[in-house]
């Protein structure tokens, strides 16, 4: 299991457009991807679960990867998140 934490910088928070693109990237991997924010947890491969977190600008979000390709998934998702959120 590997993880990273990120503070959202987008004024709109974790909104539909980047969340949809992130789900597309995350779905390429076999590992389980969880996103945690303010005591809530969502699958990183389900758009409505992610939006249900209600993460907004300034929130710290933790991405957790667990499975056979977890390190590769972490690198791809981290680069995407840092560039788009």
Which member of 15, 46, 56, 78 is catalytic?
15
Q: How far apart are the first and last CA of the chain?
A: 23
Q: Which two tokens stand for residue 65?
A: 């990867």
Max CA separation in the chain (angstroms): 34
Per-residue CA distances from 14 to 30, 32, 68, 75 (Å):
23, 20, 27, 19
24 classed as catalytic: no
Question: Do residues 2 and 28 make contact, with C-beta atoms less than 8 angstroms apart?
Answer: no
Residues involved in catalysis = 15
């Amino acid at each position: 299991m590997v993880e990273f934490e990120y503070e959202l910088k987008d004024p709109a928070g974790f909104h539909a457009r980047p969340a949809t693109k992130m789900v597309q990237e995350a779905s390429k991997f076999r590992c389980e991807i969880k996103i945690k924010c303010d005591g809530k947890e969502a699958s990183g491969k389900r758009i409505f679960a992610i939006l249900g977190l209600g993460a907004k600008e300034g929130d710290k979000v933790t991405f957790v990867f667990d499975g056979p390709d977890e390190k590769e998934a972490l690198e791809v998702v981290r680069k995407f998140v840092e560039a788009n959120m």
